[in-house]
Structure 1
Amino acid sequence: MHPKPPHHPRRTRLAKGFAATAVALAALAFAAPASAAPAAEVTPEAIDEYVSDLYEASGVPGLSVVVTRGDEIVHAAGYGHDSNGDEVTADTPFRVASVSKSFTAMAVMVLAEEGAIALDEPVAAQLPEFAMADERAAEITVRQLLNQTSGFSDTTIDIVELDDAASLEDYVSRLADDQLAADPGTSWEYANPNFNVAARLVEVASGQPFEEFMQERVFAPLGMEHSATRDEIVDPALGYNSLFGAWIPREEEPGFLDNSGSGGIITSAADMGQWLISQNGQGTQLVSEEGLAAMHTPTEIQDYGMGWSVESDGTLAHSGNLSTFNAVEWIDPETGYGIAAMTNGAGLTDIAWSTLEGLSALVGGETPPEPGNGRQLFELVLAVLSVAAIALGVIAVVRSRRWAQKRAGRPAWRIGLRLLPALAPVALFLAYPSLVSLISGGRTVTWQGTLYFALPFTVTLFIGALAGAAVVIARLIRLRSVGSAA
């Protein structure tokens, strides 16, 4: 069975918000064509053929994948290039964003089984520096952080302030003036602070910097030689954003990223293979069978374990989305299969997730969907709309004198009504981040954030707003000129 999208990873939810906004405003949708071809045999060659076709159809700069079964890597490879022009291989490091959460959960579980962390005791008792402007914060347990049932929420925590944190210790200190959105343990909400507080707890409980603990106790034992939490250790090339079909290499969006427990992991397809094998209970084990099961068990509140979404068919998945990178991990404990896909290009379509959909169908004996070019089609339509907005704006400005002459002497309210259509795109653009935040379930969306993976949509809205503003200004100037002449 195909896995469902993991529940509310940061960029996945925001992407849905942008997509929903686009549909509502432009009534544009593209359905992936169904495939009638027979299911291919699950061999390295079959996997490579499917991913190669998907890579070519997607147009993404670089893509890396790994498929595991039991204690073996069935196929690990890279496709395309990075921003340095180097060929992507199975060892090319990529940022994996929120896929990091399952790694942070593992670090906590390692220490919990050693008795250094108590999962069901308050965080504040084990991390004295943790405090909030909400007395309920003293009740949050470590398990609730990892299950995302702590009460943390983007709606009550200043996420923008946290983006400037210089360390995990600094990050935790900045929570001091924030509130909870719910009593701990009563509701589920996806929030990055959960795993950054957990990462700081790892530092305090182990007496090591987070990056050192991850290297010595997680990466090294699993043989993950191209993995780290800081780009000073494993330096990935730049990721990309797409603008009307052209991929542009860009620095990652400024903010707290390196060494974070919520999204700082950098790794490769080959290394992810070792991780997936271990997560399926094979190969090297970092914790007990009971500890691994606890991380894969959902709560009664939400089908989310500890850094893993637990699907109805028994599979587990988690996606990761930064401003210029996408990633996803998936395991099927029943069959022993594991899949990870990573891209160095982030656009309105998540190619990593599309890769997972196809590969999970392939290993499940089903026919994968034919690789499509929905991103290119959607961005082409946005480009056409942008050109149309410019053309219509120019025409309206040129005809503004005629417009003013026809309406000279009319009541101001009637003139205002006639200007509303041109003002609509301006109002929409000004409300843009707030609208997407609302559609995305309350996740914080900044203006800066709209200039990355949603760049084509943002540019189209901006051009529409600029054209509308120019038309309104031209018409008002002409009205005043006509009135003065009269």
Structure 2
Amino acid sequence: MRKTFLAAVVVSLVVAAPGPARGDGPVAALTPTAIDGYLRKAADSTGLPGMSAVVTHRDRVVHATGLGRDASGRPVTADTPMRVASVSKSFTAAAVMTLVDEGRVVLDRPVATYLPEFRMADPRAARITVRQLLNQTSGLSDRTVDIGATQRATTLAGYLAALRPGTLAGEPGARWEYCNVNYDVAARLVEVVDGRDFPVAMRERVFGRLGMAGSAVGDRVVRPADGFVSVYGAWVPRTELPGFRGGAGGVVTTASDLGRWLISQAGYGPPVVTPGSLAVLHEPPRGADYAMGWGEEVVAGRKLLVHSGNLFTYTAVQAVDPATGFGFAVLTNSASLHDDTYDVLLGLVALADGRRPTTPGGGRQTTELILALTALTAVGLGILGVRRSGRWARRRAGRAGWWTALRLVGVLVPVAVFATYPQWVSFLMNGRAVTWAQLTYFPVPLTITLAVAAVAGLATAAARLTRLRSVGSAR
């Protein structure tokens, strides 16, 4: 999945054109030096404050490294902990499959078989299978459950309790819909069947088996520094938005640890699951391109397994090439309207494939420049509208009231757009829950621009009404 949560929509709204592809000279062999050279160019062109990356091939780490600094001023290295958001889903799915390998869970049995507490107002929820949870075909949807209530939960048991008044958006197994609830329910399943808290179960079943000592669920054991958001091109440190961190987005890890994970996902090194279960994890249902925390994408004619994640001040992406045994991951301690991690990853894939990588960059800068110019234009039009409100009122004095009202409604359109901002973004995201607080993180340049346009429209309308009344009184 190239984009997650809100990024896919907001980028489409602001014409986020990527920077021009630039060849970097002759193709270099895939060595640590070549990877470092490419990543330095990528860091310079994207302007990312901090970035770490890892490339693996079959049973070895080709290179893991870090560049830039965190919000506390410390250098970012391959061992700097970062949140990976929805990349966590592939780890949760692997934990479930370890229980399948032990015969304690059967994928095609209902979730309620293992979680009697999983009850909803919709009786169809009793038919949701474990496989449907992991493939995101359960019918669960942000549109039909109280996401706000789930985010206020402090435990996975409390999270499931918050789901009880909810319903399904469709028949279990009928269609795919990306919904974090699937993976938080899966985390509770792991917790109950394993008999240990989910973070402990993950440590023992996944992280521990691979020697991922710098990884954990939640930030009590491994705590990342605060990250950054981009505000009209400037990186501003922000404290991460509070919220529930479970099976859908709770993993904190490092580039070094992801190297061990990618080797395992390519079928080499210490196994987390059996080869058969690994194949199940990577195989989408017929007619779909999403399989248990991995999405299929074709890059330069090759089918890659990919998943990205965004958690407001962190962005990450991972990919595995089953045909060649290569693995890639890019992590940043920042978030913006343009996903630079995916562009950087494409360059690493090209380098591994013997192709000339292009230097990413320009997408974020171009997008935010357009938004800044739009905001400045709105300010100018607002000032002009207020200053000319007297002339406007005199011209319309005595005219039909409906015509004057129509002209006022026109300048209030930005107000209506801003007032319903979370709702229409949610609509464009197929019902994904969106809050005002979330819109003050990586979409903040768009949020500010819409707010400025709304204020300009409101000021113009207020000035015109005031002048219109004055003209009417004078007559």
Structure-2-length-normalised TM-score: 0.96
- Identify which range, 414-423 or 350-359, moves more after superposition: 414-423
* Match 2:67 to one of 72, 79, 101: 79
Q: What is the one-letter code of the residue matched to 1:10?
A: T
What secondary structure does 1:224 align onto? coil
Mapped to 1, the partners of 2:363 and 2:271 lie a distance apart of 40
Cα separation, 1, equivalents of 2:168 and 2:75: 46
1:373-432, Cα deviation, whole Å (9 max, x unpaired): 221122122112212211221122122122212211212111112223311211221222
From 228, 237, 246, the counterpart of 1:240: 228
Partners of 1:69 and 1:178 lie apart in 2 by 44
Q: Deviations over 1:330-349 (max 9, x none)?
A: 00111110000011110011
Task: Name 1:440's counterpart in structure 2.
Answer: 429
> Is the partner of 2:28 in helix, strand or coil?
coil
* 1:30 to 2:17 alignment: yes
Q: In structure 1, what is the equivalent of residue 198 of structure 2?
A: 210
Contact 1:405–1:482 under 8 Å retained in 2? yes
* Alignment partners' CA distance in 2, 1:343 and 1:391: 36
- 1:239–1:344 contact (8 Å) kept in structure 2: yes
How far residue 112 of structure 1 moved from its aligned partner, in angstroms, is 1.4
Please report how far the alpha carbon of residue 441 of structure 1 lies from its aligned counterpart in structure 2 after TM superposition: 2.4
1:311 aligns with 2:300: no
Asked if 2 retains the 8 angstrom alpha-carbon contact of 1:64 and 1:88, the reply is yes
2:258 is equivalent to residue 272 of structure 1: yes
* Structural mapping, 1:80-229, within 5 Å: 80-229=68-217
Is the 2:143–2:169 contact (alpha carbons within 8 Å) kept by the matching residues of 1? yes
Q: What is the CA–CA distance in structure 2 between the aligned matches of 1:314 and 1:244, rounded to whole Å?
A: 35
Shift in Å, 1:31? 4.1
* 1:51 paired residue among 30, 39, 42: 39
Q: When the two structures are aligned, how many residues end up with a matched partner?
A: 471
Q: Distance in 2 between matches of 1:268 and 1:421?
A: 51
Match of 2:7 in 1: 15
Write the letter of the residue equivalent to 2:12: A
Which of 105-114 and 421-430 deviates more? 421-430
- How far off is 1:301 after superposition? 4.2
CA contact (8 A) 2:296 2:303 kept: yes
For each residue in 1:267-314, what CA deviation from the matched residue of structure 2 results, as whole angstroms up to 9, or x when unmatched?
000000000001111110021110111101111141111111123533
Structure 2: distance between partners of 1:220 and 1:240: 30
1:237-285 deviation per Cα after TM superposition (whole angstroms, max 9, x unaligned): 011111111111112222212xx00000000000000000011111100
> 1:123, 1:130 within 8 Å by CA — same for their partners in 2?
yes
Amino acid at match of 1:35: R
Following the alignment from structure 2 to structure 1, what is the Cα–Cα distance between the partners of residues 266 and 367? 38
1:266-415 pair list within 5 angstroms: 266-312=252-298, 313-415=302-404
Partner residue in 1 for 2:470:
481
Of stretches 411-420 and 241-250 in structure 1, the one that deviates more from structure 2 is: 411-420
- Contact persistence 1:20–1:439 (CA under 8 A): no
Task: Report the equivalent of 1:470.
Answer: 459
CA–CA distance in structure 1, aligned partners of residues 21 and 218 of structure 2: 41
Aligned partners of 1:268 and 1:48: how far apart in 2?
Answer: 17
Percent sequence identity is: 52
Mind listing any 5+ residue stretches in structure 1 that lack a counterpart? Answer: 1-5, 24-28
- Distance in 1 of aligned mates of 2:90 and 2:451: 38
CA distance in 2, matches of 1:323, 1:262: 15
CA deviation string 1:189-209 (max 9, x = no partner):
111011100100111101100
CA distance in 1 between counterparts of 2:160 and 2:78 reads: 35
Question: How many Å separate the matches in 2 of 1:39 and 1:483?
Answer: 75
Equivalent position amino acid for 1:22 in 2: V
Classify the secondary structure of the residue corresponding to 2:309: strand
Which stretch has the larger CA shift, 443-452 or 184-193? 443-452
**2:54 touches 2:65 (CA, 8 Å); kept in 1?**
yes
CA distance in 2, matches of 1:113, 1:185: 23
Q: Which amino acid aligns with 2:147?
A: I
Paired letter, 1:386: A
Question: d(CA) in 1 for partners of 2:26 and 2:420?
Answer: 47
Per-residue CA distance 1:314-334 (angstroms, 9 max, x = gap): 321111111111101100111
> Which amino acid is the alignment partner of residue 71 of structure 2?
S
Between 1:190-199 and 1:424-433, the stretch displaced more is 424-433
**1:30 partner amino acid:** A
Distance 2:204 2:61 in 1: 23
Hey, what's the Cα distance between the residues in 2 that align with 1:196 and 1:104?
9
Q: Any idea what the Cα deviations from partners look like across 1:55-84, whole Å, max 9, x if unmatched?
A: 111111111100000111111011110011
CA deviation profile, 1:179-235 (whole Å, cap 9, x unmatched):
111111121111101110010011110110001111122112211111011211101
Instruction: Quote the Cα distance in structure 2 between the aligned partners of 1:207 and 1:30.
Output: 49
Letter in 1 for 2:45: A
- Opposite residue 4 of structure 2, the aligned amino acid is R
The 8 Å contact of residues 17 and 437 in structure 1, kept in 2 or not, is answered as no
Q: Which moved more, 1:30-39 or 1:399-408?
A: 30-39
Range 141-150 or range 401-410, more displaced? 401-410
TM-score by length of 1: 0.94
